[in-house]
Every structure is written in C-alpha cells, then in structure tokens.
Amino acid sequence: MGKGYLLMQLVTYQGSQGPRVGRLLGSGIVDLGFADMTQFLAQPDWHEQARAAERLAPQLDGARLLAPVTRPGKFIGIGLNYSDHAAESGMPVPKQPILFAKFSNAIAGPYDPILHPGETVTAKLDWEVELGVVIGRKCRRVSVENALQYVAGYTVINDVSARDLQMFDGQWLKGKTCDGFAPMGPVLVTADEVPDPQNLPLSLTVNGETMQQGSTAKMVFGVAELVSFLSGLMTLEPGDVIATGTPPGVGMGRKPQVFLRVGDVVRCEIPGIGFIENRVELDA
C-alpha cells in the first residue's frame, strides 16, 4: 500500500452547508468540489482531480466524517463468502455468490451509533466486519481478468444483522436494512493503493474483546470474481457498494450465542484502510 501523507484517501465529511467530498491529507481535508461521492466518481477524471489535491493545503481539520458513500445507488451484500463462516452458520459453502441488499437508510458514518430497534423488534443483533468495495466506473459484463479496473477503492463495513428477522422466513432483507445497520468508513482508499485486495487482514472487537479475525485471502469468491459475477446480472454504476462477506466469529455462530446490547462498542478494522467504531444505542 501507499505510505504516509500522500496515501489516496477520499472522504465525505459534514460541511457547513451539508455533506462534502474531500481528500484526506494528514489531519486535514481538501474539498474536492462535490457534495456526493457518487457524483464525484461519475467524473471520468475523478482520480486525477483527487491526485491534484496534493498541491493544495488542507483547509479543514477535525471535520465530522460521514460514510464515504452516503447514498449508494446499490448496496449489495454477499452472504457466506468465507467457508469457515458458512461452517459456523451451519450452511454449505455456496456454489455461486449469495446476494442480499441494504437500502440507503442503513448507511451510517464511521463513528455514528448502531441503532438497536429494541428487544420487541430483535433480540439477536449481530456484527460482521467486511471489506467494502466501491465501484468507480460503469461496469457491465466484465471479465474476472478486467474486473478490478472498475473498482474505485475500498472501505470498512460492519454488516449489522438482526438474526431473528433474517432467519425467520428466509427474507434476509428484513434483518439487514434497518436504520443504521451499515456503518462504513472511515475513508475510501483508492484501488491503486491496494495492490492485492485478497491479502487484507480484518478484525472486529466488542467492548475491546476480539470476536473476529480473518483475512480476505479466505474469501470463497474474491473481489474480481464478485464484480464480474454481479456485472453479468446488473449494470454496476459509480458509487455502488459491495459488502464482500465476513470471516468467522459472529455472535450467531458462538456457543453460547452472543448478541449486541445497548451500550456495547463495536470496532471494525482493516489495516491500511482504517477502523470504524460504533456504540450501540436504542433507536428511540
């Protein structure tokens, strides 16, 4: 990966008039002139615009970071994409990627609360650290060999899941897309800074206790395979997000099972991209 001050890290932050897209440089941010990451990535020369920000002095320090992509056109989740996670879930390793969706209401910032809907809605609120992939170019029916050329970059995602809702009748969506169920961030590290997305460690702690440790090397379907497969089903657009699955260690797979409660603090980390940290709060 790239090192130090010039690492290409794109962010969405809260400006005085609303969300703004910027490039993180040191502890400051250079505004890139857009209010939405999806709009920014739709520019053919977005990478050159972001690179040119190196010549400018950062103007903002301490701004509140939002999710890098606050309203993706598509948020596609991949289920059971680590064989050892499939085993702990008591399910077979899939022969094709298992797909589900989250809607934009689920998106939360890197340090925003995880909203617990309350015990009457779910008693089994679970965690899932995942590598997030953000599409950077319109992508339709691309080969595995060319698929990574369409990736803008990578981020950290917690695929928060209400297991009782998810498993009740096979409609995963109900347990996946409640408000605040997709904390994301803290940055979007551009793809050129990540030579091999299949060689990234990822981890998750709850209240400081390690619950998940894994590597993207253990994915059943790698990033290139997922982008190629999805682009064969649907046109992928700039700003679309793919949550690539989680390693073992989720609460549902533990014996006895463990689930999140109000007050718990969840930290998800991928070295070289960063960490997100979210406290569970009751959704009043």
pLDDT at 2: 39
In 3D, which of 64, 45, 51 has the Cα closest to residue 9? 51
CA distance 147 to 237: 13
Q: Domain 75-282 belongs to what topology?
A: Fumarylacetoacetate hydrolase; domain 2 (3.90.850)
In angstroms, the CA 103 to CA 176 distance is 9
Q: Where does residue 278 fall: left (phi above 0), alpha (psi -120 to 50 degrees), or beta otherwise? A: beta
What are the sequence ranges of the domains in the chain? 4-66, 75-282
**Each residue's pLDDT tens digit in the chain (284 positions)?**
434 447 899 999 999 889 999 999 988 999 999 999 999 999 999 999 999 998 888 887 779 999 999 999 999 999 999 988 878 778 788 999 999 999 999 999 999 999 999 999 999 999 999 999 999 999 999 999 999 999 999 999 999 999 999 988 888 899 999 999 999 999 999 999 999 999 999 999 999 999 999 999 999 999 999 999 999 999 999 999 999 999 999 999 999 999 999 999 999 999 999 999 999 999 97
Q: Would you state the pLDDT for residue 201? A: 98
pLDDT attached to residue 77: 98
C-beta separation of 283 from 180 below 8 A:
yes
Q: Give, in order, the Cα–Cα distances in Å from 204 to each of 137, 154, 157, 164.
A: 30, 17, 11, 21
pLDDT of residue 4: 41
What amino acid is encoded at 186 in this protein?
P
The β-bridge partners of 212 are 204
Residue 56 is predicted with a pLDDT of 87
